[in-house]
Structure 1
Amino acid sequence: MRGTIRVGVGGWTYEPWRGVFYPEALAQKRELEYAAQHLTAIEINATFYGRQKPESYRNWAKAAPDGFKFSLKASRYATARKVLADGGDSITTFLEQGFTELGDRLGPILWQFAATKRFDRDDFARFLDLIPDQQDGTPLRHALEPRHESFRDPAFYALARARNMAIVFADDDEFPCIDEPTADFAYTRLQRSVESVATGYPPKALDGWAEKARAWAAGGRDVFAFFIAGAKVRNPAAAQALIKRLET
């Protein structure tokens, strides 16, 4: 069975997108609605910095069409720790903020770790034990984004695979790119967009990402691809260009 591919960007509020992605005359309160009509997913980064209100999640869900997904970046208070297993209270606080109000618009939760965080199998195993497979009766999917080379370790892959947690495929110059299938979905963060190219990535690069996404999906995995960082002003165009390629 072929998986579903969804493509988007990080967030939807970014002033330089006005006149480039958003029409100049578009009311700011309609930016999410517009973005959700032209993309198929958005990674919410505000959740990394602080709690959001259940009402906000309900409103975001209403602004998005059927089939659209929001991924959530987990709280930095849970992941930016010397000892990850000490983050139980912060994990609980994050999980209980009401994001299940997104309903069927809820996508994966992204757990991003500090670039200085090295892989410690015992600590990481205890950390993963703190992360549930469901919240408020809603099944959860989790993606793990290590940013230290020490995570390029079969022991890490085994821990992720045992929990059906995806290891993020990071297209980045600075952090490790691990291409290891450990879950029933794939999660990639594309971070090399450049402002000198209207679509952020050159056509051949976008062709390559479309091919890779199709290969992941052909194996039965759902795919979540987000254009993050790089030349942020170009990321919506990059996402739209990739979506167009995937339609053919």
Structure 2
Amino acid sequence: MGMIRVGIGGWTFEPWRGTFYPPGLKQKDELAYATAHLTTIEINGTYYRLQTEKSFAQWAKAAPDGFVYALKASRYCTNRKVLAEAEESVEKFVNQGIAELGEKLGPILWQFAPTKVFDQEDMGAFIALLPSAVAGVPLRHALEVRHESFRDPAFVALAKKANVAIVRADHGEYPLIEADTADFTYARLMRSVEEERTGYAPEAIERWADEARRWAAGGDAFVYFISGAKVRAPAAAQAFIAKLKAD
């Protein structure tokens, strides 16, 4: 049985101050607070720019044992016409110091543009570029595709052969591809609404919690409340965690 980890994207967001973070909490203490009340965080800053070894080491130190970070891979790796030409960008990303996270390094999320169409040969070449480890730290990879053309058995077969997860995206426009292709599962739940105190209604949280339990039977499961009504993401994640503990 795998672990189910639940969290949000990032930890710096002004509307969370006073809603998720207690009034008066210093900004420098927000990461420690977030990692103490959630079980994973998807770091989005790595999508926009390279970080330093020092930053990764500090993030690792701030989090308790058992906590893991997912990393959103650089846009320079995935936002390109020919994915097979991403080798240099992929190497630069994985060698920027992510190994400093050690056991607190979770999956790497490779997100593709909604306009990116499935090309079996090119996607296969890209997947082949993804390393299994860096500096002795094992790497796990998840692909978030956002075009309907990826609803293709050939794509599922490529991911399964490489033990790469296909992100389960709960979104109004992107395809939800429910395929078990790796020894872990990665879900991004993006339909939170501000009118609902916990972003998702209790029955929806219960339904997804049941799904997460099923996924955990085959390995670790990572569930992130992302986008949608972002102000509700921490409450949604905490309600999800509470549901898992109560049952």
Residue 10 of structure 2 corresponds to residue 11 of structure 1: yes
- Mapped to 2, the partners of 1:190 and 1:221 lie a distance apart of 19
Identity value in percent: 61
CA distance in 2, matches of 1:130, 1:202: 40
Aligned runs of 1:92-111 on 2, under 5 Å?
92-111=91-110
Structure 1 residue ranges, 4+ long, deviating more than 6 angstroms after superposition? none
Distance 1:202 1:129 in 2: 40
Residue in 1 aligned with 2:193? 194
Per-residue deviation, 1:87:
1.2
What letter corresponds to residue 41 of structure 1 in structure 2? T
Tell me the residue number matched to 1:161.
160
TM-score (norm 1): 0.98
Over aligned residues, Cα RMSD in angstroms? 0.6
- What is the deviation of 1:91? 0.9
Aligned letter for 2:64? P
- Residue 239, structure 1, aligned to residue 237, structure 2: yes
**Paired amino acid for 1:73:** K
TM-score (norm 2): 0.99
The CA deviation at 1:140 is: 0.4
Per-residue displacement from partner, 1:188-239 (whole Å, max 9, x unpaired)?
0000000001100011001101111011112x22100000000000000000
Whichever residue aligns with residue 196 of structure 2, its letter is V
Q: Which amino acid aligns with 1:225?
A: V
In structure 2, C-alpha distance between the alignment counterparts of 1:60 and 1:222, rounded to whole Å: 21
Separation (CA, whole Å) in 2 of partners of 1:210 and 1:153: 27
Look up the SS of the partner of 1:108 in the other structure.
Answer: strand
Q: Which structure 1 segments of 5+ residues have no match?
A: none
How far 1:138 sits from its partner (Å)?
1.0
Spell out the pairing of 1:174-189 with structure 2 (5 A cutoff). Answer: 174-189=173-188
Question: What CA distance in whole angstroms lies between the structure 2 residues aligned with 1:21 and 1:92?
Answer: 36
2:107 corresponds to which letter in structure 1?
P
In the alignment, what sits opposite 1:46?
Answer: 45
**Distance in 2 of aligned mates of 1:90 and 1:186:** 25
In structure 1, how many angstroms separate the alpha carbons of the residues matched to 2:64 and 2:146? Answer: 33
Please, which runs of 5 or more residues in structure 2 have no aligned partner? Answer: none
State the shift of 1:92 in Å.
1.1
Q: What are the equivalent positions in structure 2 for 1:48-197 lying under 5 Å apart?
A: 48-197=47-196
